[in-house]
Structure 1
Amino acid sequence: MTTRRPVVEFDHHTADFGEKATDVYADLRSRCPVSWTESYGGHWVTTRYEDIARIARDDETFSSARGENADHGTAIVIPRGPGLVQYPIELDPPDAAPYRDLINPLLTRDAVAGLVPMIARHTDEVIDAFIEDGHVDFVAQLTNPLPTAVTLDWLGFPREDWKRLAGPVHDIFAAAPGSARAARGGAALGWMEQRIRELLADRRREPANDVLGYLVAQQHPDGRPFDDDELVSVVFLLVAGGVDTTTSLTGSTLVHLSTNPEDRERLRTEPGLLEVATEEFLRVFAPSQSMARTATADTRIGGCPVSRGDRVLIPWVAANFDPDVFDSPDDIRLDRNPREHLSFGIGSHRCAGAHLARAMFRSMITRVLDRLPDFHIDPDLLVRYESCGSQTGWDSVPARFTPGVRIGGNGAASASPLRLSVVGRTQWAEGTVALRLADPRGGMLPAWTPGAHVTLTLPSGRVRRYSLCGDPSDLTAYTVAVLRCADGRGGSREIHDSLGLHDAVTVSLPHNRFPLTEAPWRTFVAGGIGITPIVTMIRQLVAQGDRNWNLVYCGRSRSSMALLEEVGALGGTELYVADEGRRADIPALLATLPAEAAVIVCGPDRLMHAVRDAAGGRPVHSEVFGAGDHVDVLGSDAQPFELELARTGLTLAVPAHRTALAVVRDAVPGIASDCEEGYCGSCEVRVLAGTPEHRDSVLTDAERVASKSMILCVSRCAGGRVVVDL
């Protein structure tokens, strides 16, 4: 293409870029959102979320492979860098598929849940090494050695290798391109290649129950074993992805918590908030700042002409701060829940290790808040990475704290204030079980008010929040109700299937972000399990003799609606049961309310959005726990269909009450997934035949029309059958 390029001065590897990156991208976004720079041989710079996500997902037009200039080094960063080809991130589909399929089963949500005890053990062991000193360099003594220990232990490296590899991996990411430090790191990684080959040979001679042992036992789809060159490449990527990205994220978060003590205190008193806060920290402190692609054909980005062979920078950090996607992006809000952030990428190369990264990060933050609660970082002593263009973070984070006590790495100290036992289990409705939780020593529990919730840390390490729905005057026990989500993230299944009487759970102090609001009239709207916080509010009003309220209670069937008999006896209730053909007309129900009425809603996202849309500017009070807690991935109109897996040779029946992803997972346990709510794209698959019914927020309008792919966690079939490339 010969159309004139919009040229700007831009270099993302300058020494001070890390301090001003978001400002630089914001400036470009406002005046030249797609621009060309002559830096590093010339490349395009993109700044808008929409463009970055499109490029990352379009492997056909924007390649990750080294291509015609393979001898120039990796093409996924600018400038190109030396090193072995890393499978699968430097391959385009379909070439990447065998290697992605190789590692996906190792990094599923359930697989990582099984690693939580090991991660906790390593975290306490690392903290034990310095907790008596009263001072620490968090990078050198925690955020680098912990991910290194976890990743290499998981892979199967002997302990004596851990320290030898921790520094070089960090150097590769922290050093400026072409610097002496980068060269030293590269040389040390040469030893890592040799060591990987030795360990692979050991596993071939003597199998072991670790990741290296798993890898050598697998076969390529063409029927041959993976050779050592392929496996060395895969292991390199697992080490690089597992270590320094988590180092960067954790260091940046600790700096933020030291300089913003109100956020630190909130996480200490509301430990369950860390699950959703993790996503905000990822958005703001994305370890991988940018990646790159190479155009395979003449095309356009945001109207600008891009020629075949042009290099394109896709900065995840620019997407994460796009104000068209994230309101007030410069603000750090612990409960924002920025579901669409691109810190793990998007498309076929979205980070396979996202669950492991989150688990290591949460373990470190939780234990620091618990064991070093008064840590203080001196901003004047902080040292940034030498270059922050591709990877960002802190090279040194010195801190002081009140010396603590070693616990021997057994994780004995609890990150939450209450350790309770299950003293009662009651089936409240089809798919809903109520747990009664009490102090095994018979102690009284902290007080709570209607609308409050607690956070449960389950034996697996999963963290889930539930509304308290018992009697606030009865402090001998807490009651929570748990809806079984067959296609959820595993927390409700663990509670229903594994958590029995007398089992122990860690429970946070009650917290109330959904208090009963004062108003002359209150209209409550509850959907499904959303009745649990609302019923406690109504009980209080009835006890006070206040009848200025009404309740709209919606559910799929009477058998699935918890507390139905009690709610009916309270009066003032309108029931809307879907399988009886009665659905709530939310706009009509709210249209007659006086302007001063309060609308209080809890339930699936679809219901809460409908209430907000119909409120006509009237304030709506709602409880949103975060990712996944109230997201109805099926909807009320889901229909059964058949899903054919072309490569696997299976035809699966997808019933109305299950997602396609859940059904596929039964047959292909290693299927990639992350959000399971239709916004990250991890479970996107190619459609070979049939017409999907798209319910995601990933595909563009054009992609929905073309229907060449579908998102398994939420999308269904517009006909009776769809065939996918699995």
Structure 2
Amino acid sequence: MTQLSELTAGIPEPHSSASSELPVVVSQLRWEAEGVVSLRLRSRTGELLPRWEPGAHVDLILPTGIERQYSLCGPIEDRSSYQLGVRRERTSRGGSEYVHAFLRPGQPLLLKGPRSNFGFRRAAAYLFIAGGIGITPILPMVRQAQYWGAEWQLLYGGHTADSMPFLDELREFGSRVRAYPSDTVGRIPLAEVVAQVRPDLKIFACGPESLISALNEATAHWPAGSVHVERFKPRPRVRTEDKPFDVVCAASGRTVEVPAGRSILTALEEAGIRSAASCRSGLCGSCETAVLEGVPDHRDEILAENDRAAGDRMFICVSRARTPRLVLDL
């Protein structure tokens, strides 16, 4: 793999931002596993696509207007195209169903990003853990760790071998990759694998809530900052009694009341104040907003504990306030 800094030296960066829409076209659609397809997207104008890092995702805007987030899983050095993996969900709200049923090569789409909430960090050693389609953000991390010459191991679980995308591609890494199709091998033995703490090792994991919850429980004795996870969906939350509070928009000086049971984002929209947003569930990061005054009540699935404690940013689609007033950089 060509290192990013070596690859992009001297190449002008195309104009883009995490919130701007980039016109792309589907250049390839391929079956990767049972119920999983991969898409390859190229710029409609022929430009190089924006740089990205392992763990990044893009917001894909389908012709129906549906907007969904998918992890980038191709080689980071290939800026001629982006690769995504999409599993067909039985309870799909229309995104994965459209991709599988109607999307074809040559179809124009829009995307926003890339954006990285699952940032990859340099370490002496890595343990990667993936469940099902959770392999997509992990795959570029594996490639980067291999390039760096770091010690690493991947534990990859799924219902069956046929349902595990990119498994054939991963076989090139030999014994560093351990596959756990649950129908034949059983589940990943998390408690056994992480029983002994290794201060030099970082754990990166993505998968269903059952996997992430089990990992968090198994690593409760590890130092803070050792485990980095990305979830498919927000965790079930204990219901609390929300209290109304005021949001002051620093740019205009306008004050908007956020009532109980309504998000900051929704209250702002109803007041005619627009802000970038996509998933509206605290997963994608598109509504990240700087906090200038007040204490946020973080309810997202993105920030680490030290970032929450800093209190200088929040995701306004789900998070609220612990103080009667918040001043936001809006």
TM-score (norm 2): 0.62
1:556 maps onto 2:163 in alignment? no
| Alpha-carbon distance between aligned partners in 1 of 2:31 and 2:231, rounded to the nearest angstrom | 24
2:114 is paired with a residue of what secondary structure? coil
Q: Does structure 2 conserve the Cα–Cα contact (< 8 Å) formed by 1:432 and 1:481? A: yes
Select 1:512's aligned residue among 88, 113, 116: 116
1:496 maps onto 2:100 in alignment? yes
1:627 Cα deviation from its structure 2 partner: 4.7
Over aligned residue pairs, what C-alpha RMSD do you find? 2.1
1:593 Cα deviation from its structure 2 partner: 4.2
Letter paired with 1:471: P
Q: Which residue of 1 aligns with 2:88?
A: 484
Q: Which residue of 2 aligns with 1:419?
A: 23
Q: Does structure 1 conserve the Cα–Cα contact (< 8 Å) formed by 2:190 and 2:214? A: yes
1:269 Cα deviation from its structure 2 partner: 4.9
CA offsets 1:294-342 (integer angstroms, 9 cap, x no match): xxxxxxxxxxxxxxxxxxxxxxxxxxxxxxxxxxxxxxxxxxxxxxxxx
| Alpha-carbon distance between aligned partners in 2 of 1:564 and 1:608, rounded to the nearest angstrom | 21
Q: Does structure 1 conserve the Cα–Cα contact (< 8 Å) formed by 2:212 and 2:231? A: no
1:544 maps onto 2:171 in alignment? no
Select 1:624's aligned residue among 227, 231, 238: 231
Q: Is the alpha carbon distance of 1:566 and 1:621 closer, same or farther for their aligned partners in structure 2, counting shifts above 3 Å?
A: same
Q: Which residue of 2 aligns with 1:457?
A: 61
CA offsets 1:258-313 (integer angstroms, 9 cap, x no match): xxxxxxxxxx9544xxxxxxxxxxxxxxxxxxxxxxxxxxxxxxxxxxxxxxxxxx
Larger fraction in strand: 2
Q: Which residue of 2 aligns with 1:611?
A: 215
Overall identity of the aligned pairs, in %? 36
2:83 is paired with a residue of what secondary structure? strand
Letter paired with 1:585: P
1:476 Cα deviation from its structure 2 partner: 0.8
Select 1:441's aligned residue among 23, 29, 45: 45
1:459 Cα deviation from its structure 2 partner: 1.1
Select 1:466's aligned residue among 70, 73, 84: 70
1:492 is paired with a residue of what secondary structure? helix
**Where do residues 28-67 of structure 1 align in structure 2 (5 Å cutoff)?**
none
| Alpha-carbon distance between aligned partners in 2 of 1:542 and 1:430, rounded to the nearest angstrom | 27
**Where do residues 679-690 of structure 1 align in structure 2 (5 Å cutoff)?**
none
Letter paired with 1:467: S
1:420 Cα deviation from its structure 2 partner: 0.5
| Alpha-carbon distance between aligned partners in 2 of 1:270 and 1:477, rounded to the nearest angstrom | 17
| Alpha-carbon distance between aligned partners in 1 of 2:188 and 2:160, rounded to the nearest angstrom | 14
Q: Does structure 2 conserve the Cα–Cα contact (< 8 Å) formed by 1:453 and 1:512? A: yes
Q: Does structure 1 conserve the Cα–Cα contact (< 8 Å) formed by 2:208 and 2:231? A: no
2:32 is paired with a residue of what secondary structure? strand
1:588 Cα deviation from its structure 2 partner: 1.1
TM-score (norm 1): 0.29
| Alpha-carbon distance between aligned partners in 1 of 2:196 and 2:74, rounded to the nearest angstrom | 32
**Where do residues 326-365 of structure 1 align in structure 2 (5 Å cutoff)?**
none
1:592 maps onto 2:196 in alignment? yes
Select 1:534's aligned residue among 134, 138, 149: 138
Letter paired with 1:557: T
Letter paired with 1:465: Q
| Alpha-carbon distance between aligned partners in 1 of 2:95 and 2:205, rounded to the nearest angstrom | 24
Letter paired with 1:605: E
Larger fraction in helix: 1
1:601 maps onto 2:226 in alignment? no
1:422 Cα deviation from its structure 2 partner: 0.5
CA offsets 1:164-187 (integer angstroms, 9 cap, x no match): xxxxxxxxxxxxxxxxxxxxxxxx
Q: Is the alpha carbon distance of 1:605 and 1:625 closer, same or farther for their aligned partners in structure 2, counting shifts above 3 Å?
A: closer
CA offsets 1:516-569 (integer angstroms, 9 cap, x no match): 2232221110000111111101111212322x1111100100100011112122
1:580 is paired with a residue of what secondary structure? coil
1:462 Cα deviation from its structure 2 partner: 1.2
| Alpha-carbon distance between aligned partners in 2 of 1:598 and 1:620, rounded to the nearest angstrom | 6
| Alpha-carbon distance between aligned partners in 2 of 1:443 and 1:516, rounded to the nearest angstrom | 26
**Where do residues 281-300 of structure 1 align in structure 2 (5 Å cutoff)?**
none
**Where do residues 568-583 of structure 1 align in structure 2 (5 Å cutoff)?**
568-571=171-174, 572-583=176-187
Q: Does structure 2 conserve the Cα–Cα contact (< 8 Å) formed by 1:451 and 1:533? A: yes
1:534 is paired with a residue of what secondary structure? helix
Letter paired with 1:624: R
Q: Does structure 1 conserve the Cα–Cα contact (< 8 Å) formed by 2:209 and 2:232? A: no
Letter paired with 1:611: L
1:617 Cα deviation from its structure 2 partner: 3.6
1:591 is paired with a residue of what secondary structure? coil
Letter paired with 1:549: W
| Alpha-carbon distance between aligned partners in 2 of 1:438 and 1:617, rounded to the nearest angstrom | 44
Structure 1 residue runs without a partner (length 5+): 1-267, 272-415, 632-674, 676-726
| Alpha-carbon distance between aligned partners in 2 of 1:557 and 1:542, rounded to the nearest angstrom | 26
1:573 Cα deviation from its structure 2 partner: 1.3
Letter paired with 2:55: G
Letter paired with 2:231: V
**Where do residues 130-279 of structure 1 align in structure 2 (5 Å cutoff)?**
269-271=17-19
Q: Does structure 2 conserve the Cα–Cα contact (< 8 Å) formed by 1:422 and 1:504? A: yes
2:46 is paired with a residue of what secondary structure? coil
Q: Is the alpha carbon distance of 1:440 and 1:270 closer, same or farther for their aligned partners in structure 2, counting shifts above 3 Å?
A: closer
Q: Is the alpha carbon distance of 1:581 and 1:541 closer, same or farther for their aligned partners in structure 2, counting shifts above 3 Å?
A: closer
CA offsets 1:378-400 (integer angstroms, 9 cap, x no match): xxxxxxxxxxxxxxxxxxxxxxx
1:625 Cα deviation from its structure 2 partner: 5.4
| Alpha-carbon distance between aligned partners in 2 of 1:596 and 1:534, rounded to the nearest angstrom | 19
1:509 is paired with a residue of what secondary structure? strand
Q: Which residue of 2 aligns with 1:567?
A: 170
Q: Does structure 1 conserve the Cα–Cα contact (< 8 Å) formed by 2:207 and 2:232? A: no
Report how many aligned residue pairs link the two structures.
218
Q: Does structure 2 conserve the Cα–Cα contact (< 8 Å) formed by 1:465 and 1:625? A: no
1:596 Cα deviation from its structure 2 partner: 3.5
**Where do residues 75-154 of structure 1 align in structure 2 (5 Å cutoff)?**
none
| Alpha-carbon distance between aligned partners in 1 of 2:113 and 2:92, rounded to the nearest angstrom | 25
Q: Does structure 1 conserve the Cα–Cα contact (< 8 Å) formed by 2:55 and 2:71? A: yes
1:488 Cα deviation from its structure 2 partner: 2.1
Q: Is the alpha carbon distance of 1:614 and 1:555 closer, same or farther for their aligned partners in structure 2, counting shifts above 3 Å?
A: same
CA offsets 1:104-130 (integer angstroms, 9 cap, x no match): xxxxxxxxxxxxxxxxxxxxxxxxxxx
Q: Which residue of 1 aligns with 2:284?
A: none
**Structure label with greater radius of gyration:** 1
1:606 Cα deviation from its structure 2 partner: 0.9
1:506 Cα deviation from its structure 2 partner: 1.1
Q: Does structure 1 conserve the Cα–Cα contact (< 8 Å) formed by 2:209 and 2:233? A: no
| Alpha-carbon distance between aligned partners in 2 of 1:557 and 1:501, rounded to the nearest angstrom | 28
| Alpha-carbon distance between aligned partners in 2 of 1:627 and 1:420, rounded to the nearest angstrom | 29
2:49 is paired with a residue of what secondary structure? coil
Q: Which residue of 1 aligns with 2:290?
A: none
CA offsets 1:414-472 (integer angstroms, 9 cap, x no match): xx320111110011111110001111221111111111110001111111101101111
| Alpha-carbon distance between aligned partners in 2 of 1:543 and 1:597, rounded to the nearest angstrom | 17
